[in-house]
């Protein structure tokens, strides 16, 4: 069982591999975008630090929640499959590859117990000159009564004795009678087997035990093969019943109730090499010793006496789909058996080549045996096998049948099950033993088109040894392939060849232990709980009770699982791309500042509470109803091409995400410039509404849980506006972003209006200078400079330096933009609306009310504004003198900073000369 588990772990779905490739592409896009942002900054300052900042800010490009959503979706698909009332008893034993059911191209199936019920029914008895079928079984009962009608069973259970230990003549007179021939054939079938009758209840007393043992209603048969049970049950139906058996004897009950006791002298079990089994018994009533033998026609044809009907009738029965067995006997004298027993015992005691010596002794009896009869047993097809195979064929799935049966039987089952249509040609690959024969047969097969291939395991082994690629290429072009006489190892090898040479997804289905290797090797394994045990069912990824359930499992659930997972995966990637696009646009607008757009719970809630339920509800979506998918299996063909999830669809979603993210961010900045301090609430609300609307537009068939998910997510967001107002609305209280003066990434707390006026007043001087001298040109963008020696005592500036930088940079950007375009007339009202220039700073900036005298203690070594040549009326000057400051400030954790000058920026012109570089 541990070996099974190891195989399961390594089964990875094709969808997971495709999503891994797309995730790698997204990671490359993340790194490239971060490098571009740092490059546009000009690699100023600690650029490597800014690079990692951008990697963190844009990390939502990589869909970390994709694996969680997909695993939850796969678990949901498995639950839906097991709860489907149309396929009762289905068990999903893996939660990693339900989408594989929607990508299958090759279906490799066993025959016995998979396409058939593995319930053998006796159909034909052929004696050479006469044949008995299902409608003439009553004649056999009549013939069987005749040999026992003239004898009465004595009290001891033995019939009247004939001369004991008398060997029959070469041509006994009883063989001239049809009744005698029928009697010998039925008795041979009733004795030559390994079946044991089992009784459930036994009485306490010996007398009652005997009666209980022989009651027909309380008896069941156990055997290694269902063929054996079918033969014994048939002999019971015609009047010769097996009532008991042990290692040394067996008892039969005749049509009149008499008991026939036989001693079991030797038993030769069935082997795959000999393909036959035999038994030597002694009739206790007559003391006759008889050697009965039965087996496949290929093994028995050289053992029995010459006849002219065996080969022909075997072919006829095989074409009818019957499993044939040849039954023969040989009468032995006491001396012959004693000689055989001594040689057999001596061979079994041999220490050298024991198996060969034992086989040689047994073969000494297997010559010129009397042919008694030929039996035909039918393995009935499972219910709805024909429409299921036709549906799968219409869905574009190629079906290969791998069986251990003989070629004729496999071909007949393929035709009767409509695996091969009756109007379709069948190419039977002739037996080959060397490379030359294989080459000639492959050339003959290459000249045929649109025909099914039937090949034996031996010929397959030879062809794969010399012409593996050519054989697989030709076989894949066939609409159906039947491989007979295949071993379990060959079955698994065929599955591996299809995977290697075609690259398509394969599915193996079986019901017995010999199918386990094939099921484990396939990309998707399906086991059927049959009469051969639960080995295949426990080793498979999916377990079903009947073959007809495969159609709905693939066409309905496999198709839905793949399309839902493809939509879910791409939507999760879109969710991360759109918010990363907004972050990139926001940073680029403010001179590529590595400033987070959304903070704290907003980023956590975006991927969980606000959008998770609507996005995950896509696992309930369906493009067509199950009834339509079953009616039109051709819809399954498109899934094998992988069009639902490809680089083409991925690029479409990327373009949609970039377009939506850019529109949302630019729209919030341009349409709500007067409400700039509310840009977080405006853009985030638009983002949430866009995601909910996108889910609603993606859904094809609405489910009530989808509506609940949409309403619930929207309600949670509306409620969070009230409970998380510090993330959306401006705060009127001063809060340091670094806690108690510690280091860290600054949080964006919108500043009070009076502090914003201070920043605008500073920028008023810059804007006025640029407006007054339109001939000035910009020689470089905003650069970053560290101010390691600057200290500031203002608590609000300590906590909101980043906010000040963003607001001030925005004003510079707008001013420079209007100046560069020459739109001076439009610049004046903008400055009047957005830039105020008070004559003095507010007196309450400092925490102690010291006013502007306590703002700055030391002027920076260089300023952060654009480098503009000095124009008329401007000349360079030295920085202002320092002033005392009680608390240190280290702005290396801030991308853009603004100093408060020690002079009034709105005073006379000579006071503005303190701006170095203007």
Number of Cβ within 10 Å of residue 262's Cβ equals 21
110 is in an annotated binding site: yes
CB 536 within 8 A of CB 513: yes
84 is in an annotated binding site: no
More confident residue, 352 or 739: 352
* Confidence at residue 898, expressed as pLDDT on a 0 to 100 scale: 36
Q: Residue 727: which pLDDT band, with cuts at 50, 70 and 90?
A: low
270 is in an annotated binding site: yes
Residues ≥6 apart with Cβ < 8 Å to 82: 90, 91, 92
Segment 583-587 mean pLDDT: 90
More confident residue, 47 or 776: 47
pLDDT at 312 over 50: yes
DSSP 169-231: PSS-GGGGSHHHHHHHHHHHHHHSS--EEEES---SSHHHHHHHHT-GGGEEEE-SSHHHHHH
Question: Which of 86-100, 212-226, 486-500, 576-590 bottoms out in mean pLDDT, i.e. has the lowest?
Answer: 212-226
* 141-146 long-range contacts, CB within 8 A, separation 24+: 141/238, 141/239, 141/255, 143/178, 143/179, 143/182, 143/183, 144/179, 144/182, 144/183, 144/186, 144/238, 144/239, 144/240, 144/255, 145/239, 145/255, 145/256, 146/179, 146/183
* Confidence at residue 522, expressed as pLDDT on a 0 to 100 scale: 93
What are the helix (H) ranges across 306-399? Answer: 310-319, 334-348, 354-363, 385-394
Q: Rounded distance, CA 760 to CA 589, Å?
A: 18
* Confidence at residue 525, expressed as pLDDT on a 0 to 100 scale: 93
Could you give the C-alpha distances from 390 to 108, 409, 457, in angstroms and in order? 15, 21, 26
At residue 413's C-alpha, the angle toward residues 410 and 415, to 5°, is 110
pLDDT at 692 over 80: yes
The per-residue pLDDT for range 378-428, each reduced to its tens digit, is 888 888 899 999 999 999 999 999 988 878 778 878 888 888 877 788 898
The per-residue pLDDT for range 217-274, each reduced to its tens digit, is 678 888 877 888 889 999 998 889 999 999 899 999 888 888 899 999 999 988 767 8
More confident residue, 811 or 341: 341
Segment 305-325 mean pLDDT: 85
541 is in an annotated binding site: no
* Confidence at residue 800, expressed as pLDDT on a 0 to 100 scale: 44
531 is in an annotated binding site: no
More confident residue, 44 or 841: 44
More confident residue, 725 or 792: 725
Could you give the C-alpha distances from 246 to 200, 231, 261, 562, in angstroms and in order? 16, 19, 12, 57
Question: Which of 6-15, 291-300, 419-428, 876-885 bottoms out in mean pLDDT, i.e. has the lowest?
Answer: 876-885
- Token duo for residue 345: 């015992």
511 is in an annotated binding site: yes
Q: Rounded distance, CA 672 to CA 863, Å?
A: 30
Range 91-115+382-544 classified under CATH 2.70.70.10: no
Q: Rounded distance, CA 444 to CA 850, Å?
A: 104
CB 593 within 8 A of CB 587: yes
889 is in an annotated binding site: no
The per-residue pLDDT for range 879-904, each reduced to its tens digit, is 333 333 333 333 333 333 333 333 33
CB 219 within 8 A of CB 211: no
pLDDT at 166 over 60: no
Number of Cβ within 10 Å of residue 257's Cβ equals 10
Element spanning 805, H or E? helix 795-821
The per-residue pLDDT for range 655-685, each reduced to its tens digit, is 999 999 999 998 888 888 777 667 888 899 9
Q: Residue 140: which pLDDT band, with cuts at 50, 70 and 90?
A: confident
Residues ≥6 apart with Cβ < 8 Å to 121: 230, 377, 378, 380
* 821-825 long-range contacts, CB within 8 A, separation 24+: 822/774, 824/771, 824/774
CB 462 within 8 A of CB 432: yes
pLDDT at 291 over 60: yes
491 is in an annotated binding site: yes
Residue 913 is given by DSSP the state T
* Confidence at residue 541, expressed as pLDDT on a 0 to 100 scale: 92
542 is in an annotated binding site: no
Residue 546 is given by DSSP the state S
- Token duo for residue 470: 């050519």
pLDDT at 820 over 70: no
Which of 84, 110, 523, 621 is catalytic? The answer is: 110
* Confidence at residue 642, expressed as pLDDT on a 0 to 100 scale: 83
Segment 113-133 mean pLDDT: 87
What fold characterizes domain 120-146+178-197+218-378? Calcium-transporting ATPase, cytoplasmic domain N (3.40.1110)
Beta bridge partners of 330: 291
3-state secondary structure of 525: strand
Q: What is the pTM of this model?
A: 0.68
Q: Of 718, 555, 749, 578, nearest to 26 (Cα)?
A: 578
Q: Rounded distance, CA 432 to CA 471, Å?
A: 13
Task: Please provide residue 18's backbone torsions phi and psi, each rounded to the nearest 5 degrees.
Answer: -65, -40
* Confidence at residue 705, expressed as pLDDT on a 0 to 100 scale: 93
Q: Rounded distance, CA 766 to CA 272, Å?
A: 98
* Confidence at residue 235, expressed as pLDDT on a 0 to 100 scale: 92
- Token duo for residue 244: 């008991």
More confident residue, 163 or 785: 163
Torsion angle in degrees (nearest 10) through CA of 89, 94, 97, 99:
30
458 is in an annotated binding site: no
pLDDT at 5 over 60: no
Q: Residue 569: which pLDDT band, with cuts at 50, 70 and 90?
A: very high
- Token duo for residue 365: 């009896």
**Residue-wise burial string across 213-251, b where 16 or more C-beta atoms lie within 10 A, e elsewhere:** bbeeeebebeeeebbbbbbbbbbbebbbbbbbbeeeebb
Q: Which residue has the tokens 């010929």?
A: 459
- Token duo for residue 692: 């909910």
The per-residue pLDDT for range 82-118, each reduced to its tens digit, is 999 999 999 999 888 899 999 999 999 998 888 888 7
Could you give the C-alpha distances from 771 to 528, 774, 819, in angstroms and in order? 84, 6, 7
Question: Which of 126-130, 148-152, 307-311, 543-547 bottoms out in mean pLDDT, i.e. has the lowest?
Answer: 148-152
Exposed, middle or buried by CB within 10 Å (0-12, 13-18, 19+), for 527? Answer: buried
CB 824 within 8 A of CB 774: yes
403 is in an annotated binding site: yes
Q: What value does the mean pLDDT of the chain take?
A: 76
Element spanning 107, H or E? strand 104-109
Segment 301-310 mean pLDDT: 88
Q: Rounded distance, CA 398 to CA 556, Å?
A: 18
- For the chain, the domains span 14-77+571-728+754-771, 91-115+382-544, 120-146+178-197+218-378
545 is in an annotated binding site: no
Q: Residue 574: which pLDDT band, with cuts at 50, 70 and 90?
A: very high
Q: Please tell me the number of Cα atoms within 13 Å of 418 on its side-chain side.
A: 12
> Is 425 considered catalytic here?
no
End-to-end CA distance of the chain: 81
More confident residue, 193 or 315: 193
pLDDT at 567 over 50: yes
Residues ≥6 apart with Cβ < 8 Å to 381: 115, 116, 117, 413, 416, 417
* Confidence at residue 223, expressed as pLDDT on a 0 to 100 scale: 84
């Amino acid at each position: 069982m541990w070996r099974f588990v190891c195989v399961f772990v390594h089964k990875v779905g094709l969808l997971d591999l495709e999503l891994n490739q797309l995730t790698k592409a997204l990671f490359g896009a993340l790194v490239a975008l971060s490098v571009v942002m740092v490059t546009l900054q000009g690699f100023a300052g600690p650029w490597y630090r800014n690079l990692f900042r951008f990697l963190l800010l844009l990390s939502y490009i990589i869909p970390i929640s994709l694996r969680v959503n997909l695993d939850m979706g796969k678990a949901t698909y498995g639950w839906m499959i097991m709860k489907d009332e149309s396929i009762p008893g289905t068990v999903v034993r893996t939660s990693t590859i339900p989408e594989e059911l929607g990508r299958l191209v090759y279906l490799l199936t066993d025959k016995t117990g998979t396409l058939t019920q593995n319930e053998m029914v006796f159909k034909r008895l052929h004696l050479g000159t006469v044949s008995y079928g299902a409608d003439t079984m009553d004649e056999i009962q009549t013939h069987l009564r005749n040999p026992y009608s003239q004898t009465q069973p004595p009290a001891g259970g033995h019939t009247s004795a004939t001369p004991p230990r008398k060997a029959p003549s070469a041509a006994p007179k009883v063989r001239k009678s049809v009744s005698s021939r029928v009697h010998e054939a039925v008795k041979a079938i009733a004795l030559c087997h390994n079946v044991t009758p089992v009784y459930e209840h036994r009485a306490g007393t010996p007398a009652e035990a005997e009666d209980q043992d022989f009651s027909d209603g309380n008896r069941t048969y156990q055997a290694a093969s269902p063929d054996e049970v079918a033969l014994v049950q048939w002999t019971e139906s015609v009047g010769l019943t097996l009532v008991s058996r042990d290692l040394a004897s067996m008892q039969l009950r005749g049509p009149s109730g008499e008991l026939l006791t036989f001693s079991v002298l030797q038993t030769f079990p069935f082997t795959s090499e000999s393909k036959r089994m035999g038994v030597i018994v002694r009739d206790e009533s007559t003391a006759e010793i008889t050697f009965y033998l039965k087996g496949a026609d290929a093994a028995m044809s050289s053992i029995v006496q010459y006849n002219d009907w065996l080969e022909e009738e075997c072919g006829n029965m095989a074409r009818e789909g019957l499993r044939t067995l040849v039954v023969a006997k040989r009468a032995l004298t006491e001396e012959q058996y004693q000689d055989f027993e001594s040689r057999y015992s001596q061979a079994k005691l041999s220490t050298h080549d024991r198996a060969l010596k034992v086989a040689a002794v047994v073969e000494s009896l297997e010559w010129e045996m009397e042919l008694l009869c030929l039996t035909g047993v039918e393995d009935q097809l499972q219910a709805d096998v024909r429409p299921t195979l036709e549906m799968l064929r219409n869905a574009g799935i190629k079906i290969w049948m791998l069986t251990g049966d003989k070629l004729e039987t496999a071909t007949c089952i393929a035709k009767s099950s409509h695996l091969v249509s009756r109007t379709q040609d069948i190419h039977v690959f002739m037996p080959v033993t060397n490379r030359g024969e294989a080459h000639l047969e492959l050339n003959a097969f290459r000249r045929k088109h649109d025909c099914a291939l039937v090949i034996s395991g031996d010929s397959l082994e030879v062809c794969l040894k010399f012409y593996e690629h050519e054989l697989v290429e030709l076989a894949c072009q066939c609409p159906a392939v039947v491989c007979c006489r295949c071993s379990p190892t060959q079955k698994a090898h065929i599955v591996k060849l299809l995977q290697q040479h075609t690259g398509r997804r394969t599915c193996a289905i079986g019901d017995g232990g010999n199918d386990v290797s094939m099921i484990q090797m396939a990309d998707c394994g399906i086991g059927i709980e049959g009469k051969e045990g639960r080995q295949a069912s426990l080793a498979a990824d999916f377990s079903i009770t009947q073959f007809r359930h495969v159609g709905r499992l693939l066409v309905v659930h496999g198709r839905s699982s793949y399309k839902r997972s493809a939509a879910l995966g791409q939507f999760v990637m879109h969710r991360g791309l759109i918010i990363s696009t907004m972050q990139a646009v926001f940073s680029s607008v403010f001179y590529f500042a590595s400033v987070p757009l959304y903070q704290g719970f907003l980023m956590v809630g975006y991927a969980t509470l606000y959008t998770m339920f609507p996005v995950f509800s896509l696992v309930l979506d369906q493009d067509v109803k199950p009834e339509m998918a079953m009616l039109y299996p051709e819809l399954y063909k498109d899934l094998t091409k992988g069009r639902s999830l490809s680089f083409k669809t991925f690029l479409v979603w990327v373009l949609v995400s970039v377009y939506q993210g850019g529109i949302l961010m630019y729209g919030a900045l341009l349409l709500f410039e007067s409400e700039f301090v509310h840009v977080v609430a405006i853009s985030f609300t638009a983002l949430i509404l866009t995601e909910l609307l996108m889910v609603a537009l993606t859904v094809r068939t609405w489910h009530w849980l989808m509506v609940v998910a949409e309403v619930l997510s929207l309600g949670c967001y509306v409620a969070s506006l009230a409970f998380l107002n510090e993330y959306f609305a401006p705060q009127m209280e001063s809060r340091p972003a670094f806690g108690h003066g510690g280091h860290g990434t600054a949080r964006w707390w919108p500043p009070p209006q009076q502090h914003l006026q201070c920043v605008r007043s500073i920028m008023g001087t810059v804007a006025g200078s640029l407006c007054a001298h339109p001939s000035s040109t910009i020689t470089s963008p905003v650069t970053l400079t560290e101010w390691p020696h600057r200290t500031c005592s203002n608590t609000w500036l300590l906590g909101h330096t980043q906010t000040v930088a963003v607001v001030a940079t925005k004003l510079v950007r707008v001013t420079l933009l209007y100046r560069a375009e020459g739109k001076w007339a439009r610049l004046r009202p903008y400055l009047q609306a957005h830039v105020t220039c008070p004559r003095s700073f507010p007196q309450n900036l400092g925490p102690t009310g010291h006013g502007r005298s306590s703002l700055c203690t030391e002027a920076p070594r260089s300023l952060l504004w654009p480098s503009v040549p000095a124009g008329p009326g401007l000349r360079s000057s030295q920085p202002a003198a320092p002033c005392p400051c009680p608390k240190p400030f280290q702005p290396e954790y801030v991308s853009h900073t603004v100093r408060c000058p020690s002079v009034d920026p709105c005073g006379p012109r000579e006071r503005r000369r303190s701006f170095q570089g203007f």
